Amino acid sequence: DTAVSQTPKYLVTQMGNDKSIKCEQNLGHDTMYWYKQDSKKFLKIMFSYNNKELIINETVPNRFSPKSPDKAHLNLHINSLELGDSAVYFCASSPGLAATDTQYFGPGTRLTVL
C-alpha cells in the first residue's frame, strides 16, 4: 500500500492551460505539504495544511491554489501555466507539526509546460 500517492505521475501540457495534481495519504496524518523541485534538484516548500487549514503559504504566485477537501487529500490546482512552472512537484505528509514529526514524501509529479 502506497503511503503518499500522487496523480498523475507525468503531466505534459501547453502554456496557458489549467491543470490539477492530486495527492492522497493513507497514514492518518494531520499535516500535508506541497514542494517544488526545480531542474537543479532544489526542493522548496510551497504550501502546508494542518487539519485542512492552510498554515504555510510561501511566496508562490496566486495562480497556484491548494485545496484540502479532507485531511487525507491535498490537491494543487495551477491556472494559466507558464514555462517556468515546469518542475517536479512533491506532496508530503506528517503526523502533525511537532519538530520530531517525520515528513513522508510522495513519488512526485513531473510537470512539463510546452
Partner 1 sequence: GQQLNQSPQSMFIQEGEDVSMNCTSSSIFNTWLWYKQEPGEGPVLLIALYKAGELTSNGRLTAQFGITRKDSFLNISASIPSDVGIYFCAGRNFGNEKLTFGTGTRLTIIP
> Shortest Cβ distance from residue 71 to partner 1 (Å)?
15
Is residue 43 part of the contact set for partner 1 (CB under 8 A)? yes
Dihedral angle at the C-alpha atoms of 100, 104, 109, 110, nearest 10 degrees? 70
Binding residues for partner 1, total number by CB under 8 A: 25
Q: Which of 15, 56, 61, 114 binds partner 1 (CB under 8 A)?
A: 56
Bond into 95 cis (ω within 30)? no
Binding mask 64-103 vs partner 1 (x if CB under 8 A, - otherwise)? --------------------------x-x----x-xx-xx
Nearest to partner 1 of 80, 108 (CB atom): 108
For the record, the C-alpha cell of 10 comes out as 507525468
Rounded Cα distance, 77 and 40, in Å: 23
- How far, rounded to the nearest angstrom, does the alpha carbon of residue 44 sit from its chain's CA centroid? 11
Q: Is residue 27 a contact point for partner 1 (CB under 8 A)?
A: no
Closest alpha carbon to 27 in 90, 71, 83, 74: 71
Binding site for partner 1 (CB under 8 A): 4, 31, 40-45, 48, 50, 55-56, 58, 90, 92, 97, 99-100, 102-108
